[in-house]
Amino acid sequence: MAEVSKEEIERKVAAGEKLDRADLRGAQLGGAKLAGASLRRCDFEGANLESANLQKVVLKNASLREAYLAGADLRDANLDGADLEGANLQKANLAGANLGRANLEGADLTGANLRTAKLAHAQLDSANLGGADLTAADLSRCDLVECYLGGVKASKANFSGANLEEANLEEGDFADASFDDAQLPSIGATAASFARANFLKADLSNANLVRANFGGADLRKANLERAKLDQTVLTGARIAGIQTKDAALGAIVMDWADVSPDDDGSKRAQGEAAMAALTGKTADVGARPKNVRYFGAGDVLRFAALEFDAGASVEIESRFEQCSIAIGEGTELIVGSEGVLAGCSIKGGGHITIHGQFFEGDKGPGIVGPRRVVVTTGGVLVGSVAQGDDPTMFGFEPGSRLRMKITRSTNGRRSE
Amino acid sequence: MSDMEKKTLVEEGTEFKGSLTSKCPVEVRGRIDGDLNAPSLHVSTSGAVSGKVYVGQLVSQGEIAGEFDADSIQLSGTVKDNTVIRAKTLEVRLTPPSGNKMQVIFGEVALDVGDAPRDAASAGGKKKKTDEKEKDGKSVPPPGE
């Protein structure tokens, strides 16, 4: 047991003395000011370091097993190879800290700040990270088996090659995070956000992905066999080579998906074609359905009146000027990312998806009676949309640009 | 989510009329009629907000009406008539299955979202409107595939 007092330790640290290899087991160091101290290989097992100032301390290979570090300030500390098994780090500030190869098995990191922390190869199995901030942290090749990551903020975090088997990620924010080659079998990820995250070749078999958001995520060659998906968002996800054998696919939100194998955005699929790509039931997912009209990039149409039958699929990558377009019930009209409809009008009960740009003409409303209008990231809609007798379904992705008025049907329907 | 986070809560069954300014996030499960200024506003499914609202972030699953200015907005629920929404970014999701149900019911609404869009080729476009030669041009059939 340690017999030195807190004051004595603080005095030694202030004097610049090294305390490497010191035996401080069970020491009462709550609130101690030890910033910048050299504490390599020290033994703090069971010590109380609550709210201590440990900024930039060097605790390489130190033992902090079962230590009480709640609220401690460990910013930029070096804990490389430290043993923190069972330690209490609730609300500790570990921003920028080096925890590479550290043992945090069963540690309590609830509400801790781990922004930009380096945790590569660390052991975090059965640790509790509920509500922690892991923004831009490096957790590559970490062991996170059965770890609790509920409600974490982990945008831009790196989980490449990590093992998260049976971890709980419910309601966490993992936007733009990397999970490539990660092991995530049997994870619980209800209502988690994985927008634009990278799951290339990741194993998500048996995962519970109900209400999770994979919008824009890279799921190429990911394994989702026997996973459960219901109310799961996959719009804009890259799904070439995804494996969903025996997956429980409930209601999936997937207005479109990128099915190009080389991640070049060359092939987009919608509706049934997108679902076929997800389930692997159609070999040629890039094939266009029957009754399809395509207007390629570089073409310019002016003053044209175009009419498309019900059920047709129309994709416009061209520039249309002063054109009027009539679409039948259920017609899919897609303005591709290169497409521009300037001074145009669209009438009819079809489904309109705008990746490019739509500008209405002088005589509004530019869009009349659509069943559905979706403007994706980067899409532009300038004009009025007059809803039909049945209200229009609208979808707007973040990054869409809108100057629009939505009006009701002129047939007297009122909801108030 | 941190339960410790302080927020102003207008609970279900509570109606607030007047002006509300808060430095905390505001969650509305009841009803607010009036002006509201806060870092963020969450209108839950049972909540309703009507008035002029200036917030950093708005997440609404309830009913909103009036003028809403925010950096980012996530909408579901109902947007009533005569509502103006201005935001840097707006997210409205279609709900499953495959978008066959609506997540948001819009009344008469104006949306002003993101940077002002401009048709890059429109400089010549306005001129074309008075170009009589093209005005009586016939319908052009779409090019073959």
- CB-closest option in B114, B129, B142 to A402: B114
pLDDT at A281: 67
Other CB atoms within a 10 A radius of the CB of residue B127 amount to 9
Count CA within 13 A, CB hemisphere, residue A14: 8
A381 neighbors A359 (Cβ within 8 angstroms): no
A406 CB neighbours in chain B (<8 A) are 106-111
Residue A312 placed within a domain: yes
Token pair recorded at residue A228: 């459960």
A-interface mutation test, from B113, B135, B138, most A Cβ less than 10 A away: B113
pLDDT at A290: 57
Residue A370 placed within a domain: yes
**Whole-model pTM?**
0.58
Total domain count for chain A?
1
> How far is residue B66 CA from its own chain's centroid?
11
Summarize pLDDT for B5-61 with one digit per residue, the tens.
Answer: 689 999 999 999 999 999 999 999 999 999 999 999 999 999 999 999 999 999 999
Segments of chain A scoring below 50 in pLDDT:
1, 283-288, 412-416
Name the minimum distance, in Å, from the CA of A31 to any CA of chain B. Answer: 22
Coil/strand/helix, residue B31:
strand
Considering only alpha carbons, which residue of chain A is nearest residue B111? A404
Which residue in A372, A267, A270 sits closest to A329, CA to CA?
A: A372
Name the minimum distance, in Å, from the CA of A177 to any CA of chain B. Answer: 18
Which residue in A209, A264, A260, A208 sits closest to A239, CA to CA?
A: A260
Token pair recorded at residue B59: 């997440």
Interface of B with A in 44-103 (CB under 8 A): 72, 80-81, 89-99, 101-103
B46 neighbors B29 (Cβ within 8 angstroms): yes
Distance CA B63, CA B51 (A): 12
Considering only alpha carbons, which residue of chain A is nearest residue B2? A131
pLDDT at A278: 87
> Binning pLDDT at 50, 70 and 90, where does residue B144 land?
very low
Name the minimum distance, in Å, from the CA of B11 to any CA of chain A. Answer: 23
Residues 6+ away with beta carbon under 8 Å from A254: A233, A234, A235, A237, A274, A275, A278, B98
Give this complex's ipTM. 0.80
Summarize pLDDT for B71-94 with one digit per residue, the tens.
Answer: 999 998 899 999 999 999 999 977
Check CB contact under 8 Å for A382 and B117: yes
Cα Rg of chain B, angstroms: 21
B129 neighbors A285 (Cβ within 8 angstroms): no
pLDDT at A294: 87
Summarize pLDDT for B92-125 with one digit per residue, the tens.
Answer: 977 543 444 557 888 899 999 999 888 777 644 4
A300 neighbors A318 (Cβ within 8 angstroms): yes
B102 CB neighbours in chain A (<8 A) are 391, 393-394
Q: What angle do CA B118, A360, A342 make, to 5 degrees?
A: 60
Distance CA A56, CA A174 (A): 28
- Longest pairwise C-alpha distance within chain A: 91
Residue A142 placed within a domain: no
The DSSP line for A78-107 is: B-TT-B-TT-B-TT-B-TT-B-TT-B-TT-
Taking the Cβ of residue B106 and every Cβ of chain A, the question of whether any pair is shorter than 8 Å is answered with yes
pLDDT at A84: 96
Question: What totals of helices (H) and strands (E) does chain A contain, helices first?
Answer: 2, 21
Query: Hunting for tokens 């054109």 — which residue is that?
Result: A323
The DSSP bridge pattern shows strands A256-258 and A268-270 to be antiparallel
Distance CA A215, CA A232 (A): 9
Distance CA B55, CA B69 (A): 6
Token pair recorded at residue A62: 């130190």
Question: Which residue type occupies B23?
Answer: K
With b for 16 or more beta-carbon neighbours within 10 A and e for fewer, the B56-92 pattern comes to: ebbbbbbbbbbebbbebbbbbbbbbeebebebebbbb
Question: Which residue type occupies B81?
Answer: D
